[in-house]
């Protein structure tokens, strides 16, 4: 992957998958804006990789437009956007709902992807195209019992990516998602001992998969990442087509890949 002269923006870039991805993008030649509410962490990662830090709460609708503007002002353009910030709910989401916690996970896991893509599109068009990768999860492809809220947000990210991608492909903007299994990061630190000998991904594993998606991903693809397997696009099944032969021609039903 050669990103010499290119500019990337990474949310949640102060630690875990985000920090590993910043390192990989910088090693490929990109100048990276590291966006995170942890200002000290973002500053440290940026200093280590020759980029710049942008402290922000990604749930704020104004934060990502400001980050995109900062990337263009500092580096002159924007080519790659990794919408990676994420959190867990810490509750089942079924009984005894903590509404503030619910709003927080939706804000971080879903709203920020919507805000980020919306903010990035004009800048990517000015560049002549680019790539956007959203960090979803295997919980965006299959249900994760015990964390219905996390599952709901990641399913929403997958659906948003798949629906938004065809709209932007004509502008040379490729929107994809990466869907890792369990990753040994701070998000699972509180329950790490429950995994025992279960194989876990590392942040570097996911960052490497993100690099592959940036090189080879097609619009709307959602790539699974699992230990011991090569990352690849997930194969979605199509829905049954309507029986009504007189349906409007603009409504197209087909098998999704």
Catalytic residues: 150
Yes or no: say if 81 and 12 are a contact pair by the CB < 8 Å rule: no
Which residues share a beta bridge with 36?
A: 55
Distance of CA 13 to the CA centre of its chain: 11
* Closest to 116 in 3D by CA, of 53, 179, 172, 164: 164
* Collapsed DSSP state (helix, strand, coil) of residue 125: helix
* Closest to 200 in 3D by CA, of 179, 178, 228: 228
Cα-only R_g, the chain = 18
Long-range contacts of 36-40 (CB under 8 A, 24+ apart): 36/11, 36/12, 36/85, 38/14, 40/14
**CA dist 176 → 115, 144, 157, 224 (Å):** 16, 21, 10, 11
Calpha distance 23→36 (Å, rounded): 15
């Amino acid at each position: 992957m050669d990103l010499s002269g290119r500019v990337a923006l990474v949310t949640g870039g102060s630690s875990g998958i985000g920090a590993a991805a910043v390192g990989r993008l910088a090693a490929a030649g990109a100048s990276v804006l590291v966006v995170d509410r942890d200002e000290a962490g973002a500053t440290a990662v940026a200093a280590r990789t020759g980029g710049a830090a942008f402290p922000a709460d990604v749930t704020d609708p104004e934060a990502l437009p400001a980050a995109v503007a900062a990337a263009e002002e500092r580096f002159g353009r924007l080519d790659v956007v990794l919408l990676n910030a994420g959190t867990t709910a810490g509750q089942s989401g079924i009984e005894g709902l903590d509404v503030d916690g619910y709003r927080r996970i939706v804000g971080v896991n879903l709203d920020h992807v919507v805000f980020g893509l919306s903010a990035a599109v004009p800048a990517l068009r000015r560049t002549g195209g680019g790539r956007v990768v959203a960090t979803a999860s295997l919980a965006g492809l299959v249900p994760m019992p015990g964390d219905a809220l996390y599952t709901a947000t990641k399913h929403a990210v997958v659906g948003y990516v798949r629906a938004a991608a065809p709209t932007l492909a004509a502008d040379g903007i490729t929107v994809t998602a990466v869907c890792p299994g369990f990753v040994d990061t701070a998000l699972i630190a509180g329950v790490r001992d429950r995994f025992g000998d279960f194989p876990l991904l590392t942040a570097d594993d996911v960052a490497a998969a993100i690099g592959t998606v940036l090189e080879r991903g097609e619009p709307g693809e959602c790539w699974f990442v699992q230990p011991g397997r090569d990352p690849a696009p997930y194969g979605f099944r199509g829905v049954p087509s309507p029986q009504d032969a007189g349906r409007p021609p603009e409504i197209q039903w087909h098998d999704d890949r």
